[in-house]
Amino acid sequence: MKLSELRPGMEHVELMVELISIEEPRKVTTYSGLEHTLVEGLVKDGSGSMRLTVWNEKIDELEGIEAGVTLRLVDCFITSFKGELSVNVGRDSGVQRM
């Protein structure tokens, strides 16, 4: 699947993307009061670019990965925040360096 084909609410998405940038982990509190740690970044493929959000324990899978690396993202879900789409790597997802 290509980034240009993604829509909010899609689940179980598998993608091959290049990591453009990655930020430092930060804490957020959800509307329900739960605290999470997330890492945001930017990924691209031949069809465009999109935000990447990696949640909680999955952040460890980014260790040693830097910009320019090709990633296989497995079982991701797509969200929209303030009109901007994001590929989310959550509890059931995986990140593999290619």
Backbone dihedral angles phi then psi of residue 67, each to the nearest 5 degrees: -55, 145
In 3D space, the residue among 88, 98, 20 whose CA is nearest the CA of residue 59 turns out to be 88
Whole-number Å distance between alpha carbons of 49 and 57: 24
What's the predicted TM-score (pTM) here?
0.92
| Residue burial 5-36, b: 16+ Cβ < 10 Å; e: rest | ebeeeeeebebebbbeebeeeeeeeeeeeeee
CATH numeric code, 3-90: 2.40.50.140
Mean per-residue pLDDT of the chain: 95
Tell me the pLDDT tens digit for each residue of 10-42. 999 999 999 999 999 999 998 899 999 999 999
Contacts of residue 34, Cβ cutoff 8 Å, sequence gap at least 6: none
Query: 90 pLDDT exceeds 90?
Result: yes
